[in-house]
Amino acid sequence: DLSTKVAGLSLPNLLFNASGVCCQTEADLKLMIESESGSLITKSATYEYREGNPSPRYLPLPSGLGSINSMGLPNEGYEYYLNFAKNYDYSSKKPLFISLSGLSLADNVKMCEAFVAADLPCVLEVNFSCPNVPGKPQLGYDMEAMENALNVLAPLIKKPFGVKLPPYFDIAHFDTAAAIFNKFDNLVYVTCINSVGNGLAIDFETESALIKPKDGFGGLGGLMVLNTALANVNAFYRRLPGKQVIGVGGVTSGKEVFLHVLAGASAVQIGTTLKEEGPTVFARINKELTDIMIAKGYKSLDEFRGKVKTL
């Protein structure tokens, strides 16, 4: 049984897409609906349509290490995703998550207000962690600005909502961020992690950066971020009692999903591997996780969620 609950909603299984992958257009989202994912989340929306950064802006890295991207928030504009949410079949058993990534607090307010007014059974996830828009630092690394944004957005959203976080690398940052999140009762989950921001991939032969935007700097994903992701999931799982964590980062098989749940994840998202393999990845990894649970004698995710042993 791979079922789980997030933000009060039931997911038939714990897997879905990492926001940004297979979720910009209705055609992408249809593939997610038809897949064996347990849920789906839309591409981070801005107030207006955005073309994003120049290509090449995403590339897989050699030998299964992961990927680098500097997409630059290409998206259809929030009204497109609001319209999708209005027409979504909520009886389908797959809950719908909507990612919002306004370029300013004022834009986030306007977008949240529009979703609140529509009064839909989807869950809002505010993205504090896009590393790829030139001149726009990640809110997740500015604790004061993040608390200020939550002071405005949490009462406005009223219903349970989540935030997408960048990876943190210092215990003091886990402590400070968690203390902020614990002030907001309707902030019911955090999604950890967004890409490890501003890596640089260089081709050995051509001696050139692999992607075009930002002199080649871009967010890293895939296997190389697994351990950073597990640490962030577990750090927030330990610090946010009564809230939930969605794990994302480094999933290539059922084994990494199992590790995310051991670290404390209530659901697990797939980014790089979904991009490379396509939506059939969900059927494969659900099967792999089921086999692992049978081999280990676990009947439900609850039996091992957060139960990582320490020495």
For ligand DHB, the binding residues (CB under 6 A) are 20, 44, 52, 70-74, 101, 127, 129-132, 194-195, 219
CB 84 to ligand DHB: min, Å = 18
CB 263 within 8 A of CB 235: no
Q: Which is it for strands 67-69 and 217-221: parallel, antiparallel or unpaired?
A: antiparallel
CB 167 within 8 A of CB 229: yes
Could you tell me which residues are beta bridge partners of residue 162? 125, 189
Q: For the chain, how are helix, strand and coil distributed in percent, rounded to 5?
A: 40, 20, 40
Could you tell me which residues are beta bridge partners of residue 16? 269
User: Which CB atom, from 12 or from 66, has the smaller least distance to ligand DHB?
Assistant: 66
CB 33 to ligand DHB: min, Å = 22
23 is catalytic: no
User: Which CB atom, from 20 or from 66, has the smaller least distance to ligand DHB?
Assistant: 20
**Buried-exposed string 11-36: b where 16+ CB fall within 10 A, e elsewhere:** bbbbbbbbbbbbbbeeebbebbbebb
User: Which CB atom, from 97 or from 258, has the smaller least distance to ligand DHB?
Assistant: 97
* Catalytic residue, candidates 22, 23, 112, 130: 130
User: Which CB atom, from 219 or from 279, has the smaller least distance to ligand DHB?
Assistant: 219
CB 239 within 8 A of CB 174: yes
And the tokens for 213?
A: 């935007």
Q: What is the DSSP letter of 22?
A: S
Q: Which is it for strands 9-11 and 96-100: parallel, antiparallel or unpaired?
A: unpaired
CB 40 to ligand DHB: min, Å = 16
CB 50 to ligand DHB: min, Å = 8
Mark residue 75 as left, alpha or beta (left: phi above 0; alpha: psi -120 to 50; beta: remaining).
beta
CB 70 to ligand DHB: min, Å = 6
Could you tell me which residues are beta bridge partners of residue 253? none
And the tokens for 24?
A: 């910009």
User: Which CB atom, from 35 or from 191, has the smaller least distance to ligand DHB?
Assistant: 191
Task: Supply the residues annotated as catalytic.
Answer: 130
